[in-house]
Structure formats: structure tokens, C-alpha cells
């Protein structure tokens, strides 16, 4: 009886200490996990991990989980040593429990997980419990960051055990945009970028495939479109695109494709000059011809087979309608339709939205569409902010959903934006109502490709994309911490150890090399 009565309150106090009194832990010893988990507690013991570590549990047969576990082992046991008879290991199994067997990856998929690492005398136990396999992958990532190689014993150790982590993302949409039109990125490079995204728990690759400068994607319905590529070797086959989507899915990352219409389309006319208003005035797309919309529809039909993600980006930014009004044939059409240039812009965007909707896609559009005809946009529209501040508050006030990418803070090609400006931005800025906050799906850092190619893209993305990743994943009461700099420096070195050429954190201009000799952890 005494045991019972003493024990219960103690347990309650422990739980209370673990999960309520976080500010203490935060203030004095944040763990080097990036992004920080929603809730965590740790102790002061050390566990060594057996290099023969095996995955067990009823979900161990999931190909996604198995592949994730193999990648985990490749990272954690990367020092190329074998199990020695001498070393003592505390833990040789990782239990993974996944409650929902569905492996469909969509917006809002449950990415939460619990990670428990305990140490009994001699042996330890590690468990990841998640609702989906994608939550389990996030747990594996966290676990990999808790494992470090000890150079004196030459074993992999977990410090500060026992660990108890209950984690889930703050936002469902945590994106990185990659522009493969201004410069072509080989498929392997895109895969490396996707792989690195998974280290920071980002979950959407926004693939800005096509733009005015080049059209690299194969479109079977309109096989001349990719004549608009820079060269025959700077193209993506259908198979490449499937491969990228599958590679991303294996890491819990969705691919949101973009077809930016009606502006940003000059390259389309290399293969099909009819889509230009005239050979001397090439964009926006000629809206006076029904055949233009057949091309749109053909591209979307082909892309729909490749991209299962429910969101599809229709662009709609920076539309200069001069070629419509100053090409006499198109201008005559506008007059016949009694349309101003702005009406025509609206007409085009809404028509493109309807094609996307008919293919069971949710349309995403850049903010100019909202700024020009907010009330006409389809109710399902997700507005993507980029140009100015304060857009998402207006969008959610109108009941539409929003993605935050304010260029002043989250454009990675703006190399003079330092890490802390990225870090201190918040997608919910200016939005108080909980019901409106829910309409902000999250945010995205944008890697426009005019001045980045394979030679420097990763250094331009990292480490600043990680600053945004923590903002999008972790509760804000942790992420305003002063210790963010040392933790981000640590994460930058972790990326480097994993082969990602992330640049020093504190250099004013992003992607510049170190200014002198020194430890990775101080640069």
C-alpha cells in the first residue's frame, strides 16, 4: 500500500517535471537537436550503441522504414569501424511502432513521434512510436542527431540518457523551392538537396521546373516543349521526374510541381510558337486561342500522373499584359470579349485553376493573383506570399489558406540576409485569431536559380534554410532562445559531416567560405 501511495504522486511529479517545466531545460542546457523537438527531457547517463543495431517491431517490414533505418545506420556508423569484442554496448535494438499502416503522403500527414531512450543496468532500450511511417522517419532523424562518435572508445554514444521526446511539427507545410529553369540541376543534385532537407525535417520540395529561360521537362502530350531546354543534356525525362518524386517520398517529402502561367512562359514557344502572342512579343501566353489552354491541360494531365501531391502551383506572378494589348490580333479579341488587360489576367488564372481543379489538384498561386482579384479566386486556392510583408494576414482574413515566403527574409538567393533575420521571421506575424492562424499552412524558403547552380547551390541553401526549418517545426517559446546560434553552428557541422557543403553560419554574405582557420563549431 505504501508503495502504491508513494509511487503514484512521484510518477506524476516526474511527468510534470519532464513536460511542463521546460523553460528550465531550455535556459540551461538545450540539446543539439535541430530543429528542437516540441517537448523533451533528458538525464545524465551515457549509452553506447551496438553497430549491429537492428530494427524490430511490427512495422519493421515497411520498405520506407527499412530504407530510412539503413540510411540512419549509414550516418551514425559512418566512422567505418566494426564491432569489437572489447567494447560494451548498452543497446542493440531499435523498436519502432507505427499505428497507421497507410503510407500515403499528403499535406497534413501525421508526422508526430515519441522517442524514448532508457538505460537499465547494463542494457538500454530505444523506442520510436509514431502514427505514420513518416513520423517514424522524423524520429529516426532525431535519434541520429543524438548519436555521436566517441573518439576514445571508438563507439557510438548517446549522451544525457534517459531521453524522452514527444515531437510534432508546428506547421504542416515546410518547404524549399528549387528553380530548375534559370539553371539546370542534374537529378543527382536534386536528390542530394532532398536528402539534406530531410535532415532539417523539411517536407515539401516546391519544384519550379519551368520558366521563361528554359523548359527542361518532358511532356509526352506536347513532345516539342522540351526543345525549350538550354541543351539536349539539360532535361528531365518522365522517368527522372518519377524518380525524384519517389526519392522524396521515401524521406517523407512531397514534391509540389509548378507551372507558372500566364507569365514566365517564353520558353514554351520554342517548341510551340503558337502560344506566343507574336514572334516578337512572347509572353504572357496567348489567351485568345483555345489551343493555348489545350497545351496547359496536356501538361497538367501528364504531370498529374507523376505528382501525387494534392497541391499544384500555378504561378500567376509578374504578369505584364503589354503583349496582349499591343498585339493587334489579341487586342481585338480582348475588345470582342469586352475585357480589360486586368480582366484578361483574371480570366487566364481562373481558367488555369479550373483545369487544375478538374484534375483533382488544389491550386496554389503567387500573391499577385490575390492582390488583383482576391474574391474571384477559387475557395480552395492557397495563396503563396513572396513580394511583400503582411500578405498572409489579408489572405486568411478572407478565409483562404496561405504559404509564407516573404522575400525580405526567406529568399535564399538574397545572399545578404543573415541567418538570424531568417530565424526571426514568423509565418504567423500579424495574425492573432486562432481560426485564422490555422489557415497559414506554413512557409517555404525559395532558392531562385539566376545566380546559383550546382557549384554553389547547397552553400546558398544551408545553413539558412535550417533557420527557417526550426521556425516551421519547433514551438516558438524555444526558438527565440539566444542559444540558437551555437546550436545552428553545430547543425551546420553536422551537415558538413554528412557531406552537405553548408557554408559558415556567421559570414554576413551567405555561401562565402570561412574567413580564416578555425573550428567548424565557431564559424
Ligand X SMILES: *[C@@H]1O[C@H](CO)[C@@H](O)[C@H](O)[C@H]1NC(C)=O
Residue count at the site for ligand X (CB under 6 A)?
A: 12
| Residue tagged 529561360 (cell numbers) | 213
Residue 116 β-bridge partners: 127, 164
Which region among 25-33, 164-172, 322-330, 355-363 touches ligand X (by CB under 6 A)? 322-330
Q: How far is the CB of 338 from ligand X (least distance, A)?
A: 4
Q: Which is nearer to ligand X, 70 or 322 (CB)?
A: 322
Distances (CA, A) of 519 to 87, 177, 193, 466, 522: 30, 31, 25, 20, 6
Among positions 61, 121, 188, 338, the unique one binding ligand X when judged by CB under 6 A: 338
**In angstroms, what is the minimal distance from the CB of 321 to ligand X?**
9
Stretch near ligand X under the rule CB under 6 A, chosen from 111-119, 220-228, 315-323, 457-465: 315-323
Tell me the C-alpha distance between 297 and 308, whole Å: 17
Q: Is 232 a catalytic residue?
A: no
Cβ of residue 354: shortest distance to ligand X, in angstroms? 21
- Choose the catalytic residue: 103, 234, 243, 318: 318
What is the DSSP track for 279-341? TTB--S--TT-HHHHHHHHHHHHHHHHH--SSEEE----S--THHHHSSHHHHHHHHHTT--H
The distance between the two most distant Cα atoms of the chain, rounded to a whole number of Å, is 94
Count CA atoms within 13 Å of residue 292 on its CB side.
Answer: 24
Torsion angle of the four alpha carbons 90, 96, 97, 101, in this order, in degrees rounded to the nearest 10: -170
Q: Which of residues 395-414 bind ligand X (CB under 6 A)?
A: none
Print the binding letters for residues 78-117 with ligand X: x by CB under 6 A, - otherwise: ----------------------x-x-x----x--------
Question: Is 342 an interacting residue with respect to ligand X (CB under 6 A)?
Answer: no
Give 104 or 294: the residue with its C-beta nearer to ligand X: 104
Which residue, 100 or 148, has its beta carbon nearer to ligand X? 100
Q: What is the DSSP string of 132-148?
A: SHHHHHHHHHHHHHHEE
Q: How far is the CB of 357 from ligand X (least distance, A)?
A: 21
Q: How many CB atoms lie within 10 A of CB 306?
A: 18
**274-313 positions binding ligand X, by CB under 6 A:** 281
One symbol per residue from 473 to 492: x for binding ligand X (CB under 6 A), - otherwise; what is it?
--------------------
Would you call 483 exposed, middle or buried from its count of C-beta atoms within 10 A (0-12, 13-18, 19+)? middle
Q: With binding defined as CB under 6 A, does residue 44 bind ligand X?
A: yes
The binder of ligand X chosen from 323, 349, 396, 425 (CB under 6 A): 323
Q: Are 168 and 139 in contact (CB under 8 A)?
A: no
Q: Which three cell numbers stand for residue 354?
A: 479550373
- What is the C-alpha separation between 212 and 228, in angstroms, rounded? 9
User: Should residue 335 be labelled a site residue for ligand X when binding is judged by CB under 6 A?
Assistant: no
Supply the minimum distance, in Å, between the C-beta of residue 200 and ligand X.
Answer: 23
Q: Return the range that interacts with ligand X (CB under 6 A); candidates 11-19, 318-326, 408-416, 486-494.
A: 318-326
Interface with ligand X (CB under 6 A), residue from 239, 274, 294, 322: 322
* Helix or strand (DSSP H, E) at 127: strand 124-130
Q: What is the dihedral of CA 252, 255, 256, 257, to 10 degrees?
A: 180
Question: In this complex, which beta carbon is closest to ligand X, that of residue 135 or of residue 271?
Answer: 135
Question: Which CB, 109 or 452, lies closer to ligand X?
Answer: 109
Backbone phi, psi, residue 182, to 5°: -75, -35
Non-local (6+) Cβ contacts of 453 within 8 A are 183, 184, 185
Nearer to ligand X, 341 or 421 (CB): 341
Among 84, 326, 342, 476, binds ligand X (CB under 6 A): 326
> Would you please indicate which residues are annotated as catalytic (active-site) residues?
318
In the complex, which residues of this chain contact ligand X (CB under 6 A)? 43-44, 100, 102, 104, 109, 281, 320, 322-323, 326, 338
Amino acid at each position: 500500500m505504501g508503495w502504491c501511495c508513494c509511487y503514484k504522486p512521484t510518477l506524476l511529479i516526474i511527468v510534470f517535471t519532464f513536460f511542463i517545466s521546460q523553460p528550465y531545460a531550455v535556459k540551461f542546457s538545450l540539446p543539439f537537436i535541430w530543429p528542437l523537438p516540441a517537448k523533451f527531457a533528458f538525464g545524465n547517463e551515457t549509452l553506447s550503441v551496438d553497430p549491429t543495431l537492428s530494427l524490430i517491431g511490427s512495422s519493421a517490414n515497411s520498405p520506407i522504414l527499412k530504407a530510412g533505418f539503413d540510411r540512419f545506420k549509414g550516418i551514425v556508423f559512418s566512422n567505418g569501424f566494426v564491432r569489437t569484442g572489447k567494447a560494451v554496448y548498452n543497446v542493440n535494438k531499435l523498436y519502432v511502432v507505427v499505428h497507421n499502416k497507410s503510407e500515403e503522403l499528403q499535406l497534413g500527414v501525421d508526422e508526430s513521434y515519441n522517442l524514448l531512450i532508457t538505460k537499465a543496468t547494463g542494457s538500454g532500450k530505444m523506442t520510436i512510436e509514431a502514427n505514420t511511417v513518416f513520423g517514424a522517419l522524423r524520429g529516426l532523424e532525431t535519434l541520429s542527431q543524438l548519436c555521436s562518435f566517441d573518439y576514445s572508445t571508438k563507439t557510438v554514444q548517446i549522451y544525457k540518457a534517459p531521453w524522452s521526446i514527444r515531437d510534432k511539427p508546428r506547421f504542416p507545410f515546410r518547404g524549399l523551392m528549387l528553380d530548375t529553369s534559370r539553371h539546370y540541376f542534374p537529378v543527382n543534385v536534386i536528390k542530394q538537396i532532398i536528402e539534406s532537407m530531410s535532415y532539417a525535417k523539411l517536407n515539401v520540395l516546391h519544384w519550379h521546373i519551368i520558366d521563361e529561360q528554359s523548359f527542361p521537362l518532358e511532356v509526352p502530350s506536347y513532345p516539342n516543349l522540351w526543345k525549350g531546354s538550354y541543351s539536349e543534356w539539360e532535361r528531365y525525362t518522365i522517368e527522372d521526374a518519377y524518380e525524384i518524386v519517389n526519392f522524396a517520398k521515401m524521406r517523407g517529402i512531397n514534391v509540389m510541381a509548378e507551372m507558372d502561367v500566364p507569365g514566365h512562359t517564353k520558353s514554351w514557344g520554342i517548341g510551340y510558337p503558337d502560344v506566343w502572342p507574336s514572334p516578337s512579343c512572347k509572353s504572357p501566353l496567348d489567351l485568345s486561342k483555345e489551343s493555348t489552354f489545350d497545351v496547359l491541360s496536356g501538361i497538367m494531365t501528364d504531370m498529374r500522373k507523376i505528382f501525387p501531391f494534392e497541391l499544384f502551383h500555378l504561378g500567376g506572378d509578374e504578369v505584364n499584359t503589354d503583349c496582349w494589348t499591343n498585339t493587334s490580333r489579341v487586342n481585338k479579341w480582348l475588345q470582342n470579349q469586352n475585357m480589360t488587360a486586368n480582366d484578361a489576367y483574371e480570366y487566364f488564372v481562373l481558367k488555369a485553376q479550373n483545369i487544375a481543379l478538374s484534375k483533382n489538384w488544389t491550386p496554389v498561386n503567387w500573391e499577385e493573383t490575390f492582390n488583383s482579384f482576391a474574391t474571384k479566386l477559387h475557395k480552395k486556392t492557397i495563396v503563396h506570399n513572396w513580394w511583400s510583408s503582411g500578405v498572409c494576414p489579408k489572405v486568411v482574413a478572407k478565409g483562404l489558406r496561405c504559404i509564407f515566403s516573404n522575400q525580405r527574409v526567406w529568399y535564399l538567393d538574397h545572399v545578404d540576409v543573415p541567418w538570424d533575420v531568417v530565424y526571426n521571421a514568423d509565418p504567423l506575424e500579424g495574425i492573432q485569431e486562432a481560426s485564422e492562424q490555422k489557415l497559414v499552412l506554413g512557409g517555404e524558403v525559395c532558392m531562385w536559380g539566376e545566380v546559383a547552380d550546382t557549384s554553389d547551390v547547397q552553400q546558398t541553401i544551408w545553413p539558412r534554410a535550417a533557420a527557417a526549418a526550426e521556425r516551421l517545426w519547433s514551438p516558438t517559446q524555444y526558438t527565440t532562445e539566444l542559444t540558437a546560434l551555437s546550436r545552428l553552428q553545430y547543425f551546420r557541422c553536422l551537415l558538413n559531416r554528412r557531406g552537405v557543403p553548408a557554408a559558415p553560419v556567421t559570414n554576413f554574405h551567405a555561401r562565402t567560405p570561412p574567413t580564416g582557420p578555425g573550428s567548424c563549431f565557431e564559424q
